[in-house]
Amino acid sequence: MLVSHKSVWRRRISLRSFLSFVILAALLPPLSLLALVVVRTAETDKVAAQTTLIDNAKVIASMVHGALLSDAQTMETIGGYASSSADDPETELALASKHFRGEATLVPADAALDHWTVSNLVDIRPGESARLVFNVPIKDGKGEALKLTADSTAVSNKISFGKIENQTLVAVVDGNGNMITRSAAAAENLGKRVPTWEALLEVGAPTGRFDAVAFDGTPISFGFASIEGTPGWVVVVGMPKAVLDGRWQNPLKAFGIGVLVALIVAVLLAFILSRKITGPIEAMVARSHAIGRDSKSALPDAPDAIVQELHTLYRAQMNSHERLIQRGNELELSSKRYRAVSKVGAMVTWRADVHGNAIDVEGWEEFTGQRTVAALGRGWVEQVHPEDMPVLNEALALAAQTRAPTVTAEARVKNKNQKWIWVNFRGAVITDTEGEPAEWVGTLEDIDDRKRLQLRISHMAYHDALTGLPNRVRLAEHFEQMQLPQNAGHACALLYIDLDKFKQANDTFGHAAGDALLKDVGARLNNILRETDLVARLGGDEFAVVLSHFENVEYSTMVATRIVKTLSTPFEIEGNTIQIGASVGIAVFTTGQVSIERLQFEADRALYRAKSGGRNRWSFDTSEDDDGQIRA
């Protein structure tokens, strides 16, 4: 009876129903894993979207600090001239008052004042005007400071927010919550209290984010960052919460809809596939009976199976067993190939031999415009940037040497519009039956936007925004590299350059002409120097040059002479002929034998000697003492 019950149960299960159940059961684990990936990705994207506001606020806060620092250096220079002028200091002070649309005076310096300070907004007339008070110590040994009460717009108009996304608002707020400037309607909101100031203070940190509601009821997300060197100033970056949330919610919704559609399609395909499979199997069962009747020898008994049709199918397939073994060896290589491709993804898919000769490419012609047949062999190399080919060759050679299963490298490829596009070469090795490398398969992924953004951010961090020259950060890094043990013992020189008569030219022809003049100065300095030398802009009209690896000290004086002569040649700026000059201080040193601070001190003192000697000349630091008055 027990056997009879089992037989009845087996006959009631159709192959079609069994296959449908197996397919749906197989889909359950990957769908569960996919759901988990979606949730984790959404959480990561949400945090990244919120962090973007804070990162933007930090970048802009750094730019605002740079603008304030530049103004403070200008004030210090003017104050120094006024303090050292025994006859008519008011003339220099009047220039500062005019430039900053305020009132400049010399006052006794507070003993605790060792660097410039700036106040919060004072004399506020909301929506009309406000003032800022700067106190800048003058390092001339007289114990004086320049006190400048400036029009806030004369300072804020120099602040650049860079490229701002649509529906994004940026504001600079003082330590009392009053608006200094912002990216839109700055004049109308000058001096007005920021309505979200209390919410910002509740965060209790120099940087952070918070949410608030606008006057019209729109939820807004804010990110903020404190500005260095100020009494509590902050940069606030705001964006509608719906726009910010849309950056991670919209892809999540689209992905969710796609998963739902895929699930529905998978269910339909499961039933359709089961119908398509059972039809051929039933036909094969009928042929198996015929083969069995024509066979001269009996086939082995079929194993016990829950599905009767599968048991019969097994007996019919025994005749083709040897042929399937042969075919299996042929398909194994193909199976490995396409499994590897599925792991690395596909924009352009490719196959190549172990020497890098292309065997097959798909999508290459659409991407590069080069015909597929022309790309085979080594033809694809024509579309790769010459500077990046060594990177690819080295990556393949290293993978072959270490027997690595995969390889990846970044390079530029010329697309069909004749533009160099950054791509990521990804590849996986395919082995033969003996485990030896047989060929490579892989893809090309377009990473141009990400790569160019990385390069742009890196360039901004190490270069002056106006001239494109290396900045103080890059100069300090260059010094650190020169001080490494492997670079010790070389004769080098640091040259400090200060432009003569630049301020007069800037005041006479305007700031735009002054900026253009600084750019031309940078270009002329670059033309003078060797590729191994470095020129940097320190700020304002100050530059620095590092001469590396020369035979004798006369080389430094020769370069200094060329700098003075070159910068004394008139400049043609916007139809005007501008005549300036340059004073150069030279500090010669041997790498590894002097500190960076000492070297900068000697170069600064040499520059002072050059300016004291009548300007438009160069000088060494020949003083034996370190008296602060000499350095000034």
What is the SS3 string spanning 74-110? HHHHHHHHHHHCCCCHHHHHHHHHHHCCCEEEEEECC
**Could you read off the pLDDT of 158-181 as tens digits, one per residue?**
887 777 777 788 999 998 989 999
pLDDT, mean of residues 597-607: 89
What is the percentage of the chain residues whose pLDDT exceeds 70?
Answer: 79
Give the pLDDT confidence score for residue 581 in this predicted structure: 92
The helix (H) or strand (E) run that includes residue 399 is helix 389-402
Residue 301 has pLDDT above 80, yes or no: no
C-beta atoms surrounding 177 within 10 Å: 18
Rounded Cα distance between 323 and 327, Å, is 6
The lowest-confidence range among 233-242, 243-252, 469-478 is: 243-252
Coil, strand, or helix at residue 533? coil
Query: Tell me, what's the pLDDT at 410?
Result: 86
Count Cβ neighbours within 10 Å for each residue of 346-378 and write b for 16 or more, e otherwise: eebbbbbeeebebeebeebbebbebebeebbee
Span 534-545, mean pLDDT?
90
- Please give the average per-residue pLDDT across 556-567, as a whole number: 94
pLDDT at 379: 86
Q: Cβ distance 590 to 570 under 8 Å?
A: no
**Closest to 483 measured CA to CA, from 601, 597, 588, 596:** 596
Single out the residue of 72, 57, 103, 99 nearest to residue 233, CA to CA.
Answer: 57
Count CB atoms within 10 A of the CB of residue 172.
24
- Would you say residue 296 has pLDDT above 50? no
Structure tokens at 118: 């700036």
Distances (CA, A) of 28 to 260, 542, 581: 13, 68, 78
Of the candidates 130, 134, 136, 135, the residue with the CA atom closest to the CA atom of residue 151 = 130
Q: CA–CA distance from 218 to each of 165, 212, 448 (Å)?
A: 18, 9, 36
| Predicted local confidence at residue 345, as pLDDT | 46
One-character DSSP codes across 152-212: HHHHHTT----S--TT-EEEEE-TTSBEEEESSSHHHHTTPBPTTHHHHHHH-SSEEEEEE
| 317 pLDDT more than 70 | no
Q: Which residue has the tokens 């002097």?
A: 594
pLDDT at 18 over 90: no
Please name which of 581, 575, 583 lies closest in space to residue 603, comparing C-alpha atoms. 583
- Most confident residue range from 138-142, 183-187, 493-497, 536-540: 493-497
Predicted TM-score of the model (pTM) = 0.40
SS3 assignment for 376-396 = CECHHHHHECCCCHHHHHHHH
Distance in angstroms between the alpha carbons of the first and the last residue of the chain: 113
Edge-to-edge strands of the sheet including 179-182?
179-182, 169-173, 234-240, 219-226, 207-213
Q: What percent of the chain has pLDDT over 90?
A: 18
pLDDT for 588: 92
Q: What are all long-range contacts of 521-529, with beta carbons under 8 Å and residues at least 24 apart? A: 521/467, 521/567, 522/467, 522/468, 522/469, 524/566, 524/567, 525/497, 525/563, 525/566, 525/567, 526/469, 527/566, 528/559, 528/562, 528/563, 528/566, 529/559
3-state secondary structure of 415: coil
Largest interatomic CA distance in the chain: 128
Distances (CA, A) of 629 to 79, 113, 163, 393, 480: 16, 18, 45, 60, 29
Q: How, if at all, do strands 576-578 and 207-213 pair?
A: unpaired
Q: What is the per-residue pLDDT across 603-627, written as a single tens digit (0 to 9) for each?
A: 999 999 998 888 889 999 875 444 3
Dihedral Cα 104, 109, 115, 118, nearest 10 deg:
-40
If you average pLDDT over residues 208-222, what whole number do you get?
83
What's the confidence (pLDDT) of residue 327? 60
Q: What is the three-class DSSP state of 623?
A: coil
What is the rounded distance in angstroms from the CA atom of residue 628 to the CA atom of residue 632? Answer: 6
